[in-house]
Structures are given as structure tokens and as C-alpha cells.
Amino acid sequence: MPDVNCTVDNCKYWTGKNLCEAQQIVIQSDEKGGFSPNSDLKSLAATPADTNDETCCQTFKIK
């Protein structure tokens, strides 16, 4: 699987260097969100979340 970058550091699947270790990723569209695909996501600050609704990732599970 290619690298999947994520800054939600309190997710069960988050690892150092802002990488996701989930075996399957579910993603939805986010008209208002985020950064361009060319952003250096590994240099972004952590963005903890409490629920799936606070992320664009339906795979999110809190640690």
C-alpha cells in the first residue's frame, strides 16, 4: 500500500512521521478541507480529533 499521510495523532492507526498504518482506508470528499495534494504533510502539526465527523477519514478510530 502506498504511504497515507495523516496528522490526527490520536487515531489508533496513526504512526510517527504522520503516517497511517490501517490496512484499508475509507475516504470521502471534503469540499472545504485541507491542503493541496502536493503539500508536505509530514511537516504539519498534529490535529487530534474526537470523532469521525471531525475528520475526512471514515477509517478513524480514537486510541
**Domain edges within the chain:** 1-63
| Helix, strand, coil percentages for the chain (3-state, nearest 5) | 15, 15, 70
Phi-psi map region of 42: left, alpha, beta (phi>0 left; psi -120 to 50 alpha) = alpha
d(CA 62, CA 36): 25
Written as tens digits, the pLDDT of the chain (63 aa) is 678 888 899 999 999 888 999 998 876 655 555 555 556 656 667 778 888 788 777 777 888
pTM: 0.62
The span from the CA of 31 to the CA of 10, in Å, is: 24
